[in-house]
A and B are shown apart, each in its own frame.
Chain A
C-alpha cells in the first residue's frame, strides 16, 4: 500500500478522487434542486357553483394537487387564490411546492376570470365568497383531505390582493376555515380607492389610520388599472367586459366625477373584510407590502387590529415589495406561509410566532439590497395589535412658517410621485432610485426638522397637525415625508408614497395628517422634510384654480412612531456550512499536497551500492511513444569515471531520447539508467551531481547571461560558493556581454551560456547534446579542449553529436546508435579497428557509415 502510494500516478489518483468526492458534496449543497423528490399529481375539475343574477349557470375552473408519494393518508388542504386579472394557472408552481410539503392544494379561477364562468362581483358575499364556501364543501367530500368533523375539512386559504381579500372574507363567512395567510390586500376597498388620511383619532398601531368620515381623494390611476384589468376582453371590447352590471355602473358613475356614489360605497363595503373582521377566528398571517400605493400598510394594520381584537392569533409582516414592485421576497413569504399552515393546519407543535416583522430599507451602495436575504427588523408583537401596548410616539419639532400654495386649474401641471400599475417600469426608468422628483414651483409648502443627531429607525406613519385656510369650497391636499441628506443634498421619498387629505368644506380648519407608512433608517445628519402639495398625477383633483394657506398647528411637531425593532439574525447556517465545506476542502488539499509533495523516500531497491563509482550505467533501455513509435530499444552501455564518451548517431537515432531519460524528463518504457548507482526517476536527488545541456539552451530572455546563471544556481538551493561561477563564466567567455539581456544574444552566445550553465557547480557527470551547434571553428576547438581538461579532473563527460570528426577528436569512448538501437560501444580506437578488417586507414567516418549500413 505504502509502496503503491509512492508512485506519483497513484498519489495523483488519490488526490483527484478526494477532490472529486468533496466537490460532489459541495455541489449537492450548492444546488438543492439536484436532489429530486416525489412528483405531484394534478386533477383538473369543473365545479358548478351558484348561478348569476340572470339565472345563467356558472362553473369554476379548478385544479387539485397532491404529492404522488404512494401514501393515501388524509392531509390538510390549502386553497390558493389568484390576484385580480389572473387565473389558477398562475399558481401552479406555488401549488406544486405546497403539495410537496404534504398538503392537498386546490387552486381555482375566480368567477369572471380565465376559464371560469360568470361575472366579476368584486368578492361579493353572494358570489365569490359563496364560491369559496362551495370549494370548502368539495374538500370536505374528498377522502384524501383531513377532516375536523364530518363536512368540515382542515383547510387554510392564501392568496394575494384579490385572492387575499377572498381569504379574509371566506374566513369571516365560513368558520370551517382553520388558518389564512392573505397578502397585499385591502381592509376597506372604499378607503383604498378614495383614500382619506385626515385622522379622526390617535393611532394605536404603527401604520394606523382612523380617518374622518369624509370620503377621500379618488385614486384615479390605480382605479383605472384595477378595473381595466377586469374589463379587458379579447376581440370584442365592451365598456363593462366581464364585470357584473351593478359593479360596472357604480364604478362608471364614480370614476366620471371622482366622487363616490352611495351605490358604490355600499357595494365596496360588502366586498371589504372590514365588515367581517370580528367574525374571523382563523389564525391570520397578514403579509402587507411597503411598496404599495394601492393597498398601503394602513390596510394591513386595520385588518390586524380587527382580527386580533377577539384574541385570534395574528402575525403582521411588512415585506419590501407590494403592488408598486420592489423585492417581493417570494421565498421568505412562502416560507412564512408554510410555517403558519404547518403550525395551525398540520399542528406540528411549533410555538406560535406572532412577532411583527418589517423588512429594513435597502442600505447598500448598490441601491436595491443585493443577495438572497433581506434584512428583517422584528418586534415581539405589532404595537396596538391584540394585547400588545399601543405604539409609543416621539415628537420632533418642525420648522417653517405659514405658506401659500396654488392649485392650478384642472390640476395641471401636477406633481409626479408614483405611477401606479407601472411599478416595474418606473423602477427601471429610475434605476431603483427613490429620489424625490423636483417640486413644481408654488404648489408645495415645506417644513423641516433639525438634522437628527443619532440614527432613528422610522417604522410606520408619522403624523402632523396642520392648519389650512382657503376660499375654495373644499380642500384636496397631498402630503409627503422626505429623508433629506446633510445640507439638503439629497431628498429621498421612501417608496415614492404620498397620502391624501380631502375636506368637504373650505374656510379655516385644523387637520391631523397621517403621512405614508415607511420603514426607514434616518441617518445622523439627515432631516425629515414635510411637503404639503396641491397636486398629484395619480389622483383626481379639483377642476378650479385655488390657493391654500398652510401652517403648522398643534405642537408644530412631527409625531413619529417609536417601534423598538431589532434586526432578526440573518440565517448563518449557510455561512457555517460554507466554512465547514471550505475547511474540508482545504484539509483535503493539504493532505493531497502532503501526499503529492513527499519526495519518494530513498529506498534500497533504487540503489546499487556496487555501482557508486560508476557515473552511468544504461541497461536494456527502451522507449516507445504513444502511437507505437519506438525511439529507443534495448540500449545498454556503461561510462566510467574520467571518460569523455561520444554518443554518436545520425539524426533520429535516439540519442536525445536517451539523454532525456537520463535527466528524468521522460520515463523509460523498459530498462533503467543508473547514475553513480542510483536509479534515475524524475527529480531523483542524484541528478544534482549531473549538469546538462540538452536540445538547445533554456534561458530566461529577460535576464542577462550572468543573472541567468546566478538564478539557476540559486534555484538548486545549493551554497553560492559551490557554484564556481567565475570558472564557468570563463568557459562562456562572453566578456562584458554577459551582462546584456539574453534576448540580444546570438545563437552561439546562447549556446556558450548554456554550456556554462551545465557546468555550474562542476558536476561529476556533464551531459552535452550537440554542444557545438552555432559555434564557429575556434570556439568548437575551445570546447573540445575544455571537455578534455574537465575529464582530467576526474569528472566524466557524455557528449552527443552527429559531427563525426568532432567526436573523434574529443572523445575517449564512443557509443554508436542507429534507429534507436546500439550498434557499437567501446573505446574509440577499438570501435574504429573492430570494423576495419585491418584497414589502417580506417577512421570513424567510414566505420560509422559501415555500422549504419550506408555503404
Chain B
C-alpha cells in the first residue's frame, strides 16, 4: 500500500476473484477436509525452520565429536586399558558411544526431550498463532496429535543422533574395534551395535514419560520456558526422591526409577526385567499425562 498503483492493483485483483464456490454439506469451504489440516510435513517445516531445533540437533551431533577430540588430545587422565568407566570410553567406538549415552542420559537427553515436547504447544500460544490455527480450523484433538507426533519425532531423532554421532566420533578417534568390558572380555562389534540399538530403544520408551510430562505442561501454559523447565525440574525431583532409600517400595513407582535400566542391555544375555518394568511404567505415566493433556486442551478456553 505504499503506492497508489499497488492500491489500485488490490482492488482490481479482489474484483476479478471468482465468487466463493458453493460450500460442502458440513458447511466447510470447498477443498477443505478435517483430515488434511495441519499435515505432519507442514508442522515439521514449522518446527524445523526454528533456529532452536537446528541448534539442538547440531549440538547433539557435534558434542560427541568435541568430547572424543578432547579425550584423544588429553590422554593423561586416562589409564590406557584401564578399567574405570572413563578409561574404557577411549576403548573404541561402542565404548565411547556408551560413555556418551551414560554421561548424557541423566540430564542432557532429558532436557532435549523436554525442550522439543514442552515447547511445541506453549510456544504457539506464546506467539498467539495457536488461536489462528484453531480458527482456520484445525480440530483441537488433531492439532495435539500432529504436534505430538512431530515433537516426539524430533526428540527421538535427537535420541538417535547422539549415540550415532558418538559411535562415529569414537570410531574416528579410537577405532571401530570390538567393545571391551572391565573384566577384559570383549563383545563383537555386530553384537555391540545390536545392544546399542536396544539401549536407544529403551531410552526412547523411558523418555516417553519425560516427553508426555513436558507436553502436558506445555498445554497448560503460554510460557515455553515454564513447560520445559517444569518438566526438567519434576524429573530431577523424582530422581532425587529415588535416592531416598527410606521411601522403600514407593520408589519403585517413581517414573525415573528405572531410567538407568538400559545398562542391562550389556549383560550377557540381556536382562529384560528392569527394562520391561521401566518401559511399562513409562508408558503408563505417559498414557495418564497425555489423557490429562487432551482433557485440558479439548475443554479449555483459548485466550491467547
Residues of A within 8 A of B (CB): 8-9, 11-13, 15-16, 18-20, 22-23, 26-27, 29-31, 33-34, 360-367, 369-373, 375, 431-435, 483, 485, 489-492, 521, 523, 525-526, 567, 570-572, 574-575, 577-579, 581-582, 585-586, 588-589, 592-593, 596-597, 599, 602, 607, 660, 663-667, 675-678, 682-690, 692, 694-703, 707, 711-712, 714-719, 722, 724, 726-727, 730-731, 733, 735, 752, 757, 761-764, 778-779, 782, 785-786, 789-790, 792-795
Determine whether B103 belongs to the interface, using a CB cutoff of 8 Å to chain A. Answer: no
Smallest CB separation, A658 vs chain B (Å): 14
Q: When the two chains form their complex, are residues B185 and A363 in contact, meaning their CB atoms are under 8 A apart?
A: yes
Contacts A31-B252, A712-B136 given; indicate if A697 touches B128 (C-beta within 8 A). Answer: yes
A585 to chain B, nearest CB (A): 5
Check B291 against A687 for contact (C-beta < 8 Å). no
- Given A665-B131, A782-B7, 10 more contacts at CB 8 Å? A8-B298, A19-B288, A23-B287, A363-B185, A364-B181, A526-B184, A589-B290, A714-B39, A715-B46, A764-B29
Interface residue B73 (Cβ < 8 Å from any Cβ of A): no
Candidates B27, B186, B263, B280; contact of A364 at CB < 8 Å: B263
CA–CA, A22 to B29, complex, Å? 41
B128 near A696 with CB under 8 A, answer yes
CB-defined contacts of A696 to chain B, threshold 8 Å: 128
In Å, the complex CA distance between A366 and B50 comes to 39
Please, how many angstroms separate the alpha-carbon atoms of A83 and B284 in the complex?
44
Question: How many residues of B are in contact with the other chain, CB < 8 A?
Answer: 107
Determine the chain A residues whose CB is within 8 A of the CB of B272 once the complex forms: 570, 572, 574-575, 578
Q: Confirm or deny: B281 has a beta carbon within 8 angstroms of a beta carbon on chain A.
A: yes
A592 to B275, CA, bound (A): 26
A33 to B253, CA, bound (A): 11
Chain A residues positioned under 8 Å from B303 (CB to CB): 660, 665-666
Per CB-CB distance, the 6 closest pairs between chain A and chain B, nearest first, are: A717-B36, A578-B276, A371-B271, A686-B27, A698-B128, A685-B28
Complex partner residue of A363 from B20, B49, B264, B267, CB under 8 angstroms: B267
Q: Which residues of A contact B131 (CB under 8 A)?
A: 660, 663, 665, 694-695, 698
Given contacts A364-B266, A365-B187, A602-B26, contact A793 B42 (CB under 8 A): no
B230 lies within 8 A of chain A by Cβ: no
CA gap between A730 and B32 in the complex, in Å: 24
Q: In whole Å, how far is B228's beta carbon from the nearest beta carbon of chain A?
A: 17
A597 touches B184 (CB 8 A): no
**Neighbouring A residues of B275 by C-beta, 8 Å:** 371
Q: Taking CB as reference atom, which chain A residue is nearest B139?
A: A683
> Closest approach, in angstroms, between the C-beta of B2 and any C-beta of chain A?
6
Cα of A27 to Cα of B282 in the assembled complex, Å? 11
Mask for B8-30, Cβ within 8 A of A = 1, else 0? 01110111010110011111111
Residues on A with C-beta less than 8 A from B173 are: none
Instruction: Determine if A712 and B132 form an interchain contact, defined as CB atoms under 8 angstroms apart.
Output: yes
Given contacts A12-B298, A30-B277, A707-B49, contact A586 B185 (CB under 8 A): no
B107 within 8 A of A: no
Report the separation of the CA atoms of residues A29 and B17 in the bound assembly, to the nearest whole angstrom. Answer: 65
Binds A, one of B57-65, B78-86, B161-169: B78-86
Interface residues as binary, B255-277 with A (CB distance below 8 Å gives 1, 0 otherwise)? 00000010110111101111111
Given A567-B269, A577-B276, residue A432 in contact with residue B284 (CB < 8 A): no
Distance in angstroms between the alpha carbons of A596 and B140 in the assembled complex? 10
B38 cross-chain contacts in A, Cβ below 8 A: 715, 717
Whether, in the assembled complex, B283 has its beta carbon less than 8 Å from a beta carbon of chain A, the answer is: yes
Chain A residues contacting B26 (CB-CB under 8 Å) are 602, 678, 685-686
A433 contacts B298, C-beta separation under 8 Å: no
Q: How far is the CA of A667 from the CA of B181 in the complex (A)?
A: 62
Task: Check A716/B136 contact, CB under 8 A, given A27-B284, A700-B129, A733-B2.
Answer: yes
Q: How long is the Cα–Cα vector from A607 to B294 in the complex, in angstroms?
A: 27
B264 CB contacts on chain A under 8 angstroms = 370-371
Are B299's CB and A717's CB within 8 A?
no
Determine if B98 and A762 form an interchain contact, defined as CB atoms under 8 angstroms apart: no
What's the minimum C-beta distance from B61 to chain A, rounded to whole angstroms? 21
- The complex places the Cα of A820 from the Cα of B30 at a distance, in Å, of 35
Complex CA distance for A373 and B264, rounded to whole angstroms = 10
Q: A23-B288, A375-B267, A733-B6 are in contact. Are A689 and B23 (CB under 8 A)?
A: yes
Contact check, B142 vs A597: say whether CB atoms are below 8 A apart.
yes
CB distance from A210 to the nearest CB of B (A): 31
List residues of chain A with CB within 8 A of the CB of B186: 485, 523, 525
B20, B130, B138, B267: the one within 8 Å of A762 (CB): B20
Chain B residues with Cβ below 8 Å from A18 are: 291
> Are A695 and B24 neighbours in the complex by a CB distance under 8 Å?
no
**Is residue B141 contacting chain A, with contact meaning CB distance below 8 A?**
yes
Tell me if B132 and A757 are in contact (CB < 8 A): yes
Chain B residues near A667: list those with CB within 8 A. 301
Q: Which residues 139-180 in B have Cβ within 8 Å of A in the complex?
A: 139-142, 145, 179-180
Cβ of A715 and Cβ of B138 under 8 Å apart? yes
Is the beta-carbon distance between A365 and B98 smaller than 8 angstroms?
A: yes
Closest to B264 in A: A371
Name which residue of chain A comes closest to B6, CB basis.
Answer: A733
| Closest Cβ–Cβ distance, residue B136 to chain A (whole Å) | 5
Given A686-B27, A718-B29, A730-B9, A365–B88 Cβ distance below 8 Å?
yes
Contact of A785 with B11 in the complex, beta carbons under 8 Å: yes
Task: Give which listed residue, B42, B179, B181, contacts A714 with CB less than 8 A.
Answer: B42
Query: Contact at A692–B132, with CB atoms within 8 Å?
Result: yes
Give the one of A581, A682, A690, A707 with max B CB within 10 A. A682
A716 interface neighbour in B32, B49, B85, B276, Cβ under 8 Å: B32
- Which partner residue on chain A sits nearest B263 by CB separation? A370
Q: A363-B185, A711-B46 are in contact. Are A793 and B271 (CB under 8 A)?
A: no
- B179 neighbours in A (Cβ, 8 Å): 365
Report the separation of the CA atoms of residues A843 and B1 in the bound assembly, to the nearest whole angstrom.
Answer: 29
* Contact between A700 and B127, CB atoms less than 8 A apart: yes
B226 within 8 A of A: no
The contact sample of 10 A-B pairs, CB cut-off 8 A, is A375-B267, A607-B27, A666-B303, A684-B137, A686-B28, A688-B136, A698-B127, A703-B46, A724-B13, A762-B20
Most A-side CB within 10 Å, residue of B10, B39, B127 = B10
B69 at the interface (CB under 8 A from A): no
Instruction: Report which residue of A702, A752, A785 has the largest number of chain B beta carbons within 10 angstroms of its beta carbon.
Output: A702
Known: A23-B287, A689-B28, A701-B127. A433 touches B83 (CB 8 A): yes
State in angstroms the CA–CA spacing of A588 and B11 once bound together.
54
Question: For the complex, what is the distance from the CA of A577 to the CA of B295, rounded to whole Å?
Answer: 29
B252 near A30 (CB under 8 angstroms)? yes
